[in-house]
Amino acid sequence: MSHADSPVAARVRRLEERAIAAGLTSDQELDATLGRFMRDASPTNGARLVARAWTDPAFRERLLADGNAAAAEVRLGTSGSVPMSYRLKVVENTARVHNVIVCTLCSCYPVSLLGPSPSWYKSHAYRARVVREPREVLAEFGLTLPDEVEIAVWDSSSEVRYMVLPRRPDGTEGLAEDALAALVTREGLIGTAVL
């Protein structure tokens, strides 16, 4: 089944057609809006938040307490800010806890901070299995964690989206924020990788 044939894509297109027919927008306006949004939607945004948290303990505390307010403090995307119509909850990996995010009902995901979601994130297999057998799923991604490390699975929704704050790698104490941000991957922000 192609994307255009999926039930969700068909529902979205019907909604777009109704909005256009009602004179609320046009195809060109929708394309322009999506283009602006996707231009600024990148895992680089989440990586910038992580790098700032690694170098600024007070920012780290604010990010963990109120992700939206902390994200507003950091220049993200080409415009300096990215739209977030959801509550951002940042969960921190520690020596004892590794976090991974999922949306079991659909594929809610903080696009503005992590970029377009990978196809596996939207797959039924990932959404169903990571909750039941997270250690096995992470191993399939090449991430084997010690038995004593607890795995916490966070289920996103339309109201709340999660982002993982990975552990800072050893030996990076002298690196500037830009160099630290370059170490962070989208998979690290989801929790299917260490970075």
112 in active site: no
Contacts of residue 134, defined as CB under 8 A and 6 or more positions apart, other chains included, come to 100, 151, 153
- Over residues 84-94, mean pLDDT: 94
Residue of 87 and 106 predicted with greater confidence = 87
Residue 4 confidence class, pLDDT cut points 50, 70, 90: very low
The one catalytic residue in 42, 108, 112, 156 is 108
Q: Provide the 3-class DSSP secondary structure of residue 92.
A: strand
Average pLDDT in the chain: 89
% of the chain surpassing 90 pLDDT: 66
pLDDT at 71 over 80: yes
Q: Which of 42, 107, 112, 156 is catalytic?
A: 107
- 108 belongs to the catalytic site: yes
Across 82-86, 94-98, 136-140, 163-167, least confident range: 82-86
The pTM for the full model equals 0.82
Q: Which two tokens stand for residue 176?
A: 């500037």
Digit-coded pLDDT (tens) for 96-143 = 999 999 999 887 889 889 988 888 998 999 999 999 999 999 999 999
Active-site entry in 42, 103, 112, 156: 103
Can you list the domains of the chain with their CATH numbers? 3-39 (no CATH), 41-190 (3.90.330.10)
DSSP 8-class letter at 152: E
Task: Tell me which residue has tokens 């004892």.
Answer: 96
Encode pLDDT of 33-70 as tens digits: 655 655 567 899 999 999 999 999 999 999 999 999 99
Checking if the pLDDT of 8 tops 80, the result is no
| Residue 103 is among the residues annotated as catalytic for this protein | yes
The SS3 of residue 162 is strand
Q: Which among 106, 119, 123, 158 is annotated as catalytic? A: 106
Give the distance between the most distant pair of CA atoms in the chain: 58
DSSP secondary structure code for residue 171 in this structure: T
- Report how far residue 60's alpha carbon sits from residue 153's, in angstroms, rounded to the nearest whole number: 21
User: Is 79 part of the annotated catalytic residue set?
Assistant: no
Contacts 24+ apart (CB under 8 A), 76-80: 76/40, 76/45, 76/48, 76/49, 76/112, 76/113, 77/39, 77/40, 77/41, 77/42, 77/45, 77/112, 78/39, 78/40, 79/40
